[in-house]
Structure 1
Amino acid sequence: MDIKTDRRALLRGAALTGAFGAMGGCNPGADDGGQNSGAEDGLTTTTIAAAEKLQGIEYTPQERAMMLDDIEQRLTTLAALRAIEFPNELAPACVFDPKLPRKKIPSQKNRLNLSEVRRDLPQSEADIAFASVVEQAHWLRAGAITSAQLTDIYLRRIEKYNGTLNAYITVTADLARAQAAKADVDFAEGRGRGPLQGIPYGLKDLADTKNVLTSWGATPYKERVPETDAEVTRKLRRAGAVLLGKTACGAIAYGDQWFAATTRNPWNAEEGSSGSSAGSASAVAGGLCAFAIGTETLGSIISPSERCGTTGLRPTFGRVSRAGFMALCWSLDKVGPICRTVEDNAAVLSAINGFDADDPSAARVGFTYEPQDITKMTVGYVPAWFEEGDSADRKALEALKDLGVTLKEFTWPEIDFGSLIEIVQVEAAAAFADLTLSNRDDELVWQAKEAWPNAWRAARFVSAVDYVQIDRLRRRLMQDMMTAFEGFDALIGPHFAGGALLATNATGHPQLALRAGFSQRPALSLFDEPIQKQTFKAPRGISLWADLFEERKLLALGAALEKELSVSDQRPPNFD
């Protein structure tokens, strides 16, 4: 049997039957004013009339009869299209650019100026494991500890705690020890590679690692082993970082449930760590790595950072290469660090930032991080967001005011941009169309109404015409946000207030989530529904947003706010 030909026939049949099979059992022979042609093939004007209900439109019997031949031809065209193999990394021809034509992006030189470290190397392995990247880098350069010793500390912690957290899908112990040994040789011979040299980290299992399992957290890909590295993987290797393993992610970048387990929150293992950078946040919060790499399409860095109390940076769209990462939504996907401190995010971003020709959306913008006088900054806030927030949110706002910044009311766009959520649904449905059409979406562990299989099926009923309108709405929101940020260095608010997560992901603006305090609450489901009666001490965070490619302002403000709030060094219980 010709497998390729047989697959084409199968998909053509799916296209032809799917067009009317989902119409609720329409009767091809139903009376339609004598206009019911094409009945012998199963596609009729009655089918069109039923399909109109899915689009909220209504045609006359004559109009339906006139378009019937064209629709039948389109089904043949769709069948041919669906028979083509589209690898996940093949991006659409239309490329998203967050920068509007009249938008000026200030140039930046690649410069990193981190705070001076004054603390000596602790005696406790747990204290070393929970130290910041900046501190660990200082101790490594000073010879107070070797990369091999630091790596073994984390490998021992992974062996002890990963069974509870399920933060790693794959642990690369041999590779980590080899990379640590190389880092120590480089230190001994005076070859400096930057602040990440010798620092052990976790890499979200959406990033390709040559000859190392990269499963995307999903059953259909749980034996997938790439032949090349992602660009970020290469950059971190060149920076001398030590790969401990691949951190767990919700299957195909959604949630905290992967093909073998649910990743847990170190502050309370009764709840998941949220998603989809679930393992990255859990591993950092539990002291199972110094830092981790996450990705975000719509909250996948911010949400687990809130749940686990980590500090996550979602960079401006295009700042960090996505080449070699699983594509979920080409016009929204971003790669960023998850750390324990704000400055650690600066250190990691300095290593992974940069243009890459293999990413069609990659920007050519440098990254600067150095001390800034934040008292000269103007930070916006939306009063209603804080009125609806909690005490941790309001405390963060007051702390920022105490730091001497100018606080000014921010005019949040008033347009209804809720339909932008369809960008994720439609692009993800396209990225994994083969799973839907072959019914391999049934292999995914999570099969709920909110899960990908159902969302992808429903996305096929979003019309192309409406999708173009959604894209035009996106452009209008970009224009409104450009106007709103004029005169502001940053915006502060609760992570999810006012639809800011959706809006700023769609416009490409950067977001920094940092710990603001704690609350007493019960364990929560993925969708923040209580799942137990007893409460526990849970971390609470706050977000800062800035204009496009102005992460330097976010990080300067965030570092000052983190110091003022003085809650970032508290650790989850039972992980010492």
Structure 2
Amino acid sequence: MTSHIVTSRRSVLGLMAGGAAGLTGGGAAAARVQEAITAETLACSESLFAVSYTDEERAQLVRTMEDWSARAEALRAHHRPNTLAPALSFDPRLPGRSYRTQANALGGVPGEAGRCPRAAADIAFAPVWQQAAWMARGELSSAELTEIYLDRIARYAGQLECFITITAERARREAAARDAERAAGRVRGPLHGIPYALKDIVDVAGLPATWGATPYRERVGEETAVAAARLEEAGAVLLGKTSVGALAYGDIWFDGVCRNPFNPNEGSSGSSAGSASATAAGLCSFSIGTETLGSIVSPSHRCGTAGLRPSFGRVARTGAMALCWSLDKIGPITRHVADTAYVLGVINGADAGDPASFDHGFDCDFSGDLAGLRLGYNPQWLEQGHELDRQALDAARSLGVEPVPFEIEELPYAALLIQLEAEAAAAFEELSLSGADAQLRWQDDEAWPNTFRRARFISGIDLVNADRLRRQVMSMMHERMDGLDAVIGPNFAGNMLLATNFTGHPQLVLRAGFHQQPTRTLSGEAAGDGGDLFDVPYATSLWAPLFEEGTLVRLGHAIESRLGAAARRPPGLD
């Protein structure tokens, strides 16, 4: 059977708002008075969990509740920093399955770099691989490129609200050092001297790391995250920390709302909001985002960037804020698909500080032939999707790929959100118990404060069964992708974004073209009465079997080149 169609960001947010059983919990737990649990208390609470007990059963429960409640209180009182991961770690690799061994290598080049242009905007919006080629030929220096971006940040970052911290002097020092190394014959790799921006839930020692949230706005990183350290070792130049929806949800942060460069009247979606906005606006060569459930895909769709969500566990998350230990991923956001391979090649790999990470090589050969690749597609998704999704499939067909019908099973995918909400509420339990969640700017029904309170009513039994469902979805997705090189479709169609986040499969979102839209809310609905229409980007997605990001990038780059929409710039930002 064909699965239920989810066609928009609004549908995903709707699942987040209503996916877990229970009602809103209220008030600051620190001020609550612990009352004795009675049979009447139990009877009133049974409807929350869809159970029904007899009077005798309730009486028996009451006799054992005191010890149970004491254990829970002791657990709440025990300090657990955000860095403390659960003992059980998620692994997307299924027992008995084999995965292609890969060397850590990039092959071929995405295209001909040409000569370095004179106009600063032309340089700023160029792909990373071209900028690297110009530096290698001595036509561009890191110091020059860094100054171009710092000038653009000074002019445009304020109106887009896409940076929380700008590290201008640090960037200048790093750029000068990278130029000196190049002059001495030491080049660290393709990102040597390339300026980038970092989502503000990824720490750099000594720099603010606010998580976009009012309670943490004075927080400073004590150690540099592994991903940021790897970029530094590769010679990349840090321009600053980008805005993030508070605690990695949405585009509202403690001091603003990050904007879409193609229509600054609307938010850039979330939660890698600032990373996508800054990249699309030409304020950095590339950026780093994170995704738990759409936080790379959604802002890339709205801002028109290329976003690569890697296979779960491929990139160590040590030093990044934990929202959901079994779902969080770190990945690149770029203006052009090919650039994602250069960034992933640097940040790829395990670290002892992240028990869910592991080493798996990453290769991507741009000279490889695409003819004969087996590309899954779902006719119903495309029929109900956008014309630009269908054009993306046509572009793939023109490359000689073999289209293969694809569908996933009808399963209760929304129930998986029980796990996300429980882990997120555990990660930020102190906010709920202390009442500090009231300091967060976003307080709507679907926002974190209400979600964290509601998660108190998730039963342990339901949580375990949601994890069992996750195992079923993993087996199904591996089976349905067996024999395929990739799958193409609308970003939010057919529960693919939801399912593959939980199975750990990679997703690449790429700009397919432009369409006319009114100013939109976070969920994608028209804001107010709609008003004027704006020409804004539209993206489509590719998914692949575990660890086959190289295929995604090669195929995505070729499709992007055929569609010809990636080079278009936001109006008024030249």
Report the alpha carbon displacement of residue 118 of structure 1 after superposing the two structures with TM.
Answer: 3.2
Match of 1:430 among 426, 429, 437: 426
1:72 aligns with 2:66: yes
- 1:40-85 Cα shifts (integer Å, max 9, x gaps): x532000001111100000000000001122221111111100111
Q: Do the aligned residues in 2 keep the contact of 1:12 with 1:76 (CA within 8 Å)?
A: no
Determine the C-alpha separation between the residues in 2 that align with 1:192 and 1:116: 21
Q: Do the aligned residues in 2 keep the contact of 1:495 with 1:541 (CA within 8 Å)?
A: yes
Helix, strand or coil at the partner of 2:253: coil
1:57 aligns with 2:51: yes
Determine the C-alpha separation between the residues in 2 that align with 1:15 and 1:470: 30
- Name the CA shift for 1:79/1:118 in 2 (closer, same or farther; >3 Å): closer
Q: Which residue of 1 aligns with 2:37?
A: 43
1:259 aligns with 2:254: yes
Structure 2, unaligned runs of 5 or more: 1-27
- Letter aligned with residue 267 of structure 1: F
Determine the C-alpha separation between the residues in 1 that align with 2:413 and 2:153: 42
Q: Which residue of 2 aligns with 1:506?
A: 502
Match of 2:391 among 382, 388, 395: 395
Q: Which residue of 1 aligns with 2:323?
A: 328
Match of 1:457 among 450, 453, 462: 453
Q: Do the aligned residues in 2 keep the contact of 1:382 with 1:412 (CA within 8 Å)?
A: no
Q: Which residue of 1 aligns with 2:9?
A: none
Determine the C-alpha separation between the residues in 2 that align with 1:235 and 1:16: 49
- Letter aligned with residue 39 of structure 2: T
1:290-301 matched pairs, under 5 angstroms: 290-301=285-296
Q: Which residue of 2 aligns with 1:409?
A: 405
Q: Do the aligned residues in 2 keep the contact of 1:298 with 1:505 (CA within 8 Å)?
A: yes
Determine the C-alpha separation between the residues in 2 that align with 1:387 and 1:394: 8
Determine the C-alpha separation between the residues in 1 that align with 2:127 and 2:478: 35
1:565 aligns with 2:571: no
1:507-546 matched pairs, under 5 angstroms: 507-531=503-527, 532-546=530-544
Q: Which residue of 1 aligns with 2:236?
A: 241
Q: TM-score, normalised by structure 1?
A: 0.93
Report the alpha carbon displacement of residue 116 of structure 1 after superposing the two structures with TM.
Answer: 4.4
Q: Which residue of 1 aligns with 2:18?
A: none
1:117 aligns with 2:112: yes
Report the alpha carbon displacement of residue 139 of structure 1 after superposing the two structures with TM.
Answer: 0.7
Structure 1, unaligned runs of 5 or more: 1-10, 18-40
Q: Do the aligned residues in 1 keep the contact of 2:331 with 2:344 (CA within 8 Å)?
A: yes
- 1:187-239 Cα shifts (integer Å, max 9, x gaps): 10111111110000000000011100000000010010122100011000000
1:204-353 matched pairs, under 5 angstroms: 204-353=199-348
Report the alpha carbon displacement of residue 16 of structure 1 after superposing the two structures with TM.
Answer: 6.6
Report the alpha carbon displacement of residue 516 of structure 1 after superposing the two structures with TM.
Answer: 0.5
1:142-157 matched pairs, under 5 angstroms: 142-157=137-152
Q: Which residue of 1 aligns with 2:370?
A: 374
Report the alpha carbon displacement of residue 14 of structure 1 after superposing the two structures with TM.
Answer: 6.4
Helix, strand or coil at the partner of 2:508: strand
Determine the C-alpha separation between the residues in 2 that align with 1:177 and 1:369: 32
Helix, strand or coil at the partner of 1:396: helix
Q: Do the aligned residues in 2 keep the contact of 1:12 with 1:80 (CA within 8 Å)?
A: no
Match of 2:80 among 74, 80, 86: 86
Helix, strand or coil at the partner of 1:117: coil
Q: Do the aligned residues in 1 keep the contact of 2:30 with 2:433 (CA within 8 Å)?
A: no
Determine the C-alpha separation between the residues in 1 that align with 2:228 and 2:300: 22
Helix, strand or coil at the partner of 1:524: coil
Determine the C-alpha separation between the residues in 2 that align with 1:414 and 1:363: 31
- Letter aligned with residue 453 of structure 2: R
Report the alpha carbon displacement of residue 376 of structure 1 after superposing the two structures with TM.
Answer: 2.0
Q: Which residue of 1 aligns with 2:10?
A: none
- Name the CA shift for 1:61/1:102 in 2 (closer, same or farther; >3 Å): same
Q: Which residue of 2 aligns with 1:163?
A: 158
1:546-561 matched pairs, under 5 angstroms: 546-561=544-559
- Letter aligned with residue 392 of structure 1: L
Determine the C-alpha separation between the residues in 1 that align with 2:46 and 2:114: 68
Q: Which residue of 2 aligns with 1:497?
A: 493
- 1:215-267 Cα shifts (integer Å, max 9, x gaps): 00000100101221000110000000000000000000000010000000000
- Name the CA shift for 1:457/1:475 in 2 (closer, same or farther; >3 Å): same
Match of 1:183 among 155, 165, 178: 178
Q: Which residue of 1 aligns with 2:22?
A: none
Report the alpha carbon displacement of residue 122 of structure 1 after superposing the two structures with TM.
Answer: 0.7
Q: Which residue of 1 aligns with 2:414?
A: 418
Instruction: Indicate the structure whose relative CO is greater, using CA pairs within 8 Å and at least 6 residues apart.
Output: 2
Report the alpha carbon displacement of residue 463 of structure 1 after superposing the two structures with TM.
Answer: 0.2
Helix, strand or coil at the partner of 1:178: helix
Report the alpha carbon displacement of residue 365 of structure 1 after superposing the two structures with TM.
Answer: 0.3
Determine the C-alpha separation between the residues in 2 that align with 1:105 and 1:358: 24
Report the alpha carbon displacement of residue 12 of structure 1 after superposing the two structures with TM.
Answer: 9.2
- Letter aligned with residue 49 of structure 2: Q
Q: Return structure 1 stretches of 4+ with deviation > 2 angstroms.
A: 11-17, 113-118
Q: Do the aligned residues in 2 keep the contact of 1:133 with 1:199 (CA within 8 Å)?
A: yes
- 1:373-424 Cα shifts (integer Å, max 9, x gaps): 1112100001110010111111111111111100010131222221111221
- Letter aligned with residue 339 of structure 1: T
- Name the CA shift for 1:212/1:13 in 2 (closer, same or farther; >3 Å): closer
Determine the C-alpha separation between the residues in 2 that align with 1:427 and 1:575: 40
Report the alpha carbon displacement of residue 13 of structure 1 after superposing the two structures with TM.
Answer: 7.2
Q: Do the aligned residues in 2 keep the contact of 1:12 with 1:83 (CA within 8 Å)?
A: no
Helix, strand or coil at the partner of 1:306: helix
Determine the C-alpha separation between the residues in 2 that align with 1:374 and 1:116: 15
1:106 aligns with 2:100: yes
Q: Which residue of 1 aligns with 2:90?
A: 96
Report the alpha carbon displacement of residue 120 of structure 1 after superposing the two structures with TM.
Answer: 0.8
Match of 2:197 among 194, 202, 207: 202
Per mean C-alpha deviation after superposition, the further-off stretch among 363-372 and 304-313 is 363-372
Report the alpha carbon displacement of residue 102 of structure 1 after superposing the two structures with TM.
Answer: 1.5
Larger Rg: 1
Q: Which residue of 1 aligns with 2:439?
A: 443
Determine the C-alpha separation between the residues in 2 that align with 1:157 and 1:564: 30
Q: Do the aligned residues in 1 keep the contact of 2:302 with 2:538 (CA within 8 Å)?
A: yes
Q: Do the aligned residues in 2 keep the contact of 1:12 with 1:79 (CA within 8 Å)?
A: no
Count residues in correspondence. 544
Q: Do the aligned residues in 2 keep the contact of 1:117 with 1:138 (CA within 8 Å)?
A: no
Match of 1:480 among 476, 486, 503: 476
Q: Which residue of 1 aligns with 2:357?
A: 362
Report the alpha carbon displacement of residue 163 of structure 1 after superposing the two structures with TM.
Answer: 1.2
- Name the CA shift for 1:249/1:56 in 2 (closer, same or farther; >3 Å): same
- Letter aligned with residue 332 of structure 1: L
Determine what percentage of the aligned residue pairs are the same residue.
52
- Letter aligned with residue 291 of structure 2: E
Q: Do the aligned residues in 1 keep the contact of 2:165 with 2:242 (CA within 8 Å)?
A: yes
